[in-house]
Amino acid sequence: MDNIKIDPETSCWEWQKHKNRKGYGKIRAFRKTLSAHRLSYTLFTRADRTTDIPEGAVIMHDCDNPGCVNPTHLTAGTQLDNVADMVAKGRQATGQRHGSFKPGKQAVWLMCFLLGQGRTHEQVAEELGMSVAVVIRETTRGFTGP
Ligand SMILES: [Zn+2]
């Protein structure tokens, strides 16, 4: 595919064609201009997801590279997820993996969301950079009330 250059280090699929001012890949199809990463997400990952891109959802880059269209780097979420994602990444940077750490409301919400999508506690813990014990403790509490 000459539209895409694969970065051997990050495994990002760098979109080579038109990009907008923010660096997002653009593709003309169906008489519309589509976001290349949204199209990629729909084409490549729909089979193993429960739904299409939900109404009003944003496609987030796990790799923080707006020009990337690697479907394995893309996650569908809401604007709230986008914020929670930043929160989680900020936490990851400070390396809070130990069991006594108390995540914020948004992080707990995100955990429940990810579990609801069929991920295991281990996968959620890995994605958010938290210990499995914290994820289990917080999400169990989240489901049973305060
Ligand atoms: Zn990427």
Ligand 1 centroid vs 122 CA: distance in angstroms?
A: 23
* 85 and 131 belong to one structural domain: yes
* Residues 18 and 53 placed together within one structural domain of the fold: yes
Q: What's the CA-to-centroid distance between 139 and ligand 1, angstroms?
A: 29
Q: Are residues 71 and 91 in the same domain?
A: no
Please state the φ and ψ torsions of residue 119, each to the nearest 5 degrees: -80, 155
User: Are residues 94 and 70 both part of a single domain?
Assistant: no
Q: 46's torsion region: left (phi>0), alpha (psi -120 to 50) or beta?
A: alpha
- What are the pLDDT digits (tens) for 114-143? 777 778 888 878 777 778 888 888 777 644
Q: Distance between CA atoms of 50 and 11, rounded to whole angstroms? A: 25
Cα dist from 70 to 7, 51, 115, 129, whole Å:
10, 19, 23, 22
CA–CA gap between residue 134 and residue 22 (Å, rounded): 36
Cα of 74 vs centre of ligand 1, distance in Å, is 8
The Å distance, Cα 71 to ligand 1 centre, comes to: 8
Which stretches in the chain have pLDDT values below 50?
Answer: 49-51, 93-100, 142-146
Instruction: State the distance from the centre of ligand 1 to the C-alpha of 69, rounded, in angstroms.
Output: 7
Max alpha carbon distance in the chain (Å)? Answer: 53
**Whether 51 and 101 share a structural domain:** no
Q: Which domain holds residue 117?
A: 79-144
Q: What is the reported pTM? A: 0.48
52 and 32 fall within a common domain: yes
Residue where one domain finishes, among candidates 56, 76, 96? 76
Residues 55 and 84 in one domain: no
pLDDT of residue 123: 81
Q: Quote the CA–CA distance of 101 and 134 in Å, as a whole number.
A: 7
pLDDT recorded at residue 97: 47
Number of domains in the chain: 2
Ligand 1 center to residue 3 CA distance, Å? 15
One domain for residues 72 and 105? no
Output the CA 64–ligand 1 centroid distance in Å.
7
Q: Are residues 20 and 63 in the same domain?
A: yes
Instruction: With H, G, I as helix, E, B as strand and everything else as coil, classify residue 95.
Output: coil
Task: Give me the pLDDT at residue 11, please.
Answer: 92
CA of 52 to the centre of ligand 1 (A): 20
Distance 140 CA to ligand 1 centre (A): 32
The alpha carbon of 143 and the centre of ligand 1 are apart by a number of angstroms equal to 33
| Ligand 1 midpoint to CA 146 (Å) | 38
